[in-house]
Amino acid sequence: MTEKLHAVALAARNRAYAPYSNFYVGAAVEMEDGTIFGGCNVENIAYPQSICAERTAIVNAVSAGHRRLRRVYVIAEPAAAPCGGCRSVIAEFSTADTEVIMANPEGQSYRMTLGALLPHAFERHETVPVVQESGPPPER
Ligand SMILES: [Zn+2]
């Protein structure tokens, strides 16, 4: 059941912009309604301005109005787990049970839950309460 995720992530990886690391990564995120968004890493000569494939895919999904992740699929060679920053961004739109699949381009993969990848995630109750899931901010 991961063929579509693999195809989207692989297509995204083929568009990765990684002239500095030569580490090409593609990601696909499946939202709770089944919609899938892809993303690739986009590096910048000012290194901190680079963005990972996972965050690109999530930004694509959120920009299209989606908020809840069901699965995350990441392709790299070799297969690699999301970085710490991406784990936190995944957590923003997931639960501890959200599945994260790490694959290589040939489709060999391993799976973990977000809870295993990011135990004791910084959660909303530890920040300012969020009263609204989507849409523009409330009028003041
Ligand atoms: Zn990352």
> What is the total count of domains within the chain?
1
Let me know if residue 88 belongs to a domain. yes
Let me know if residue 47 belongs to a domain. yes
The single-letter code of the amino acid at 127 is T
Residue 50: per-residue pLDDT? 98
Let me know if residue 110 belongs to a domain. yes
Contact 41, 18 (CB under 8 A): yes
Q: 138: CA distance to ligand 1 center in Å? A: 31
Ion ligand 1, residues whose Cβ is below 5 A away = 52, 83, 86
Catalytic (active site) residue 54: yes
Residue 128: per-residue pLDDT? 58
Q: 134: CA distance to ligand 1 center in Å? A: 24
Contact 36, 57 (CB under 8 A): no
Residue 138: per-residue pLDDT? 65
Q: Domain range holding 52?
A: 1-117
Let me know if residue 126 belongs to a domain. no
- The domain that holds 26 is classified in CATH as 3.40.140.10
Let me know if residue 138 belongs to a domain. no
Residue 1: per-residue pLDDT? 78
Distance CA 27, CA 7 (A): 10
**What's the whole-model pTM score?**
0.88
Let me know if residue 134 belongs to a domain. no
Q: Which of 3, 54, 133, 139 is catalytic?
A: 54
Tens place of pLDDT per residue across the chain (140 aa): 799 999 999 999 999 999 999 999 999 999 999 999 999 999 999 999 999 999 999 999 999 999 999 999 999 999 999 999 999 999 999 999 999 999 999 999 999 999 999 999 887 666 655 555 666 666 76
Let me know if residue 132 belongs to a domain. no
Q: 25: CA distance to ligand 1 center in Å? A: 10
Let me know if residue 125 belongs to a domain. no
Across-strand partners of 40? Answer: 26
